[in-house]
C-alpha cells in the first residue's frame, strides 16, 4: 500500500516556553522552601540576607537620622534594619529611640512656643510701660521717672531665653535713649 506524501511521521513534541518556565519556578520554590526549613538548622546560615556589617551600618544610619531630627528617614532605615539584622532587640531599641526623639522634639517645640508667647507678653508690657511714661504730663517727665520706667522695663528681661531677653533689652535701651535725648532738649 502506498502512503500519501502529505502524511508524515509523528514529530517529537517540543515543550512550550511557558511549561519550561513553570517547571523552573516549581524547582526554585522547592529549593526556597528547603532553604527556609534547612537553613535555620545550620549554624552560620544567614537567612534573608542578614549581615552584621549591614546591620551595624543601618543602625548607625538610623541613629544619625534621629540626631538630625529626620524621623521619616529614621523610620525608613529602621525598616531596612529589620530586614538585615538577626537580633530583633536592636530593632526594638531603635523603635524606642525614634519615639523618644519624637517626644523630645515635641517638647522642644512646645517649650519654644511657650517662650515665644512669654516674650511677646513681656515686649507688650515693656511697650505699655514706655507708653505710660509718654502719656504722663510733661511736668512728670523727669530723669527720676525715666529711670524708674527703665528699671521697670528692665525687669521684664528676666527669666527669658537669651535671644528674647536680648531683643527686649535692645528695645528698652532704644526707648530709654530716645526719651533721654528728648529730656535733654
Which sequence spans correspond to the domains of the chain? 112-184
Look up residue 2 and give its DSSP letter: P
> What does the pLDDT read at residue 79?
94
Higher pLDDT, 33 or 155: 155
Name the average pLDDT for the chain.
82
pTM beyond cutoff 0.85: no
CA dist., res. 54 & res. 57, Å (int): 5
Least reliable range by pLDDT among 38-42, 92-96, 147-151: 38-42
pLDDT digits (tens, 9 = 90+) for 89-115: 999 999 999 999 999 999 999 999 999
What is the C-alpha end-to-end distance of the chain, expressed in Å? 142
> What does the pLDDT read at residue 2?
54
- 133 φψ region: left (φ > 0), alpha (ψ -120 to 50), beta (else): alpha
Higher pLDDT, 8 or 151: 151
CA dist., res. 41 & res. 74, Å (int): 33
- Contact by Cβ (8 Å): 75, 58: no
- Contact by Cβ (8 Å): 126, 153: yes
> What does the pLDDT read at residue 43?
41
> What does the pLDDT read at residue 34?
45
CA dist., res. 80 & res. 84, Å (int): 6
> What does the pLDDT read at residue 3?
52
Least reliable range by pLDDT among 89-103, 132-146, 167-181: 132-146
CA dist., res. 104 & res. 72, Å (int): 15
pLDDT over threshold 60, residue 46? no
153 burial class (0-12, 13-18, 19+ CB within 10 angstroms)?
A: buried
The candidate with the shortest Cα–Cα distance to 152, out of 127, 178, 134, is 127
pLDDT over threshold 50, residue 38? no
- Contact by Cβ (8 Å): 152, 131: no
> What does the pLDDT read at residue 50?
75
**pLDDT band at residue 45 using 50, 70 and 90 as cut-offs:** very low
- Contact by Cβ (8 Å): 175, 130: yes
Amino acid at each position: 500500500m502506498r502512503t500519501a506524501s502529505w502524511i508524515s511521521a509523528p514529530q517529537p513534541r517540543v515543550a512550550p516556553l511557558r511549561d519550561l518556565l513553570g517547571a523552573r519556578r516549581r524547582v526554585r520554590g522547592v529549593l526556597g522552601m528547603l532553604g527556609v526549613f534547612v537553613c535555620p538548622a545550620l549554624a552560620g546560615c544567614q537567612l534573608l540576607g542578614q549581615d552584621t556589617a549591614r546591620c551595624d551600618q543601618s543602625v548607625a544610619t538610623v541613629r544619625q537620622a534621629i540626631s538630625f531630627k529626620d524621623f521619616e528617614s529614621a523610620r525608613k532605615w529602621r525598616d531596612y534594619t529589620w530586614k538585615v539584622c538577626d537580633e530583633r532587640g536592636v530593632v526594638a531599641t531603635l523603635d524606642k529611640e525614634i519615639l523618644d526623639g519624637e517626644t523630645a522634639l515635641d517638647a522642644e517645640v512646645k517649650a519654644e512656643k511657650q517662650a515665644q508667647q512669654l516674650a511677646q507678653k513681656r515686649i507688650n508690657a515693656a511697650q505699655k510701660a514706655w507708653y505710660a511714661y509718654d502719656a504722663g504730663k510733661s511736668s512728670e517727665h523727669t530723669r527720676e521717672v525715666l529711670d524708674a520706667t527703665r528699671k521697670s522695663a528692665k525687669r521684664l528681661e528676666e527669666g527669658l531665653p537669651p535671644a528674647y531677653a536680648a531683643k527686649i533689652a535692645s528695645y528698652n535701651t532704644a526707648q530709654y535713649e530716645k526719651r533721654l535725648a528728648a529730656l535733654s532738649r
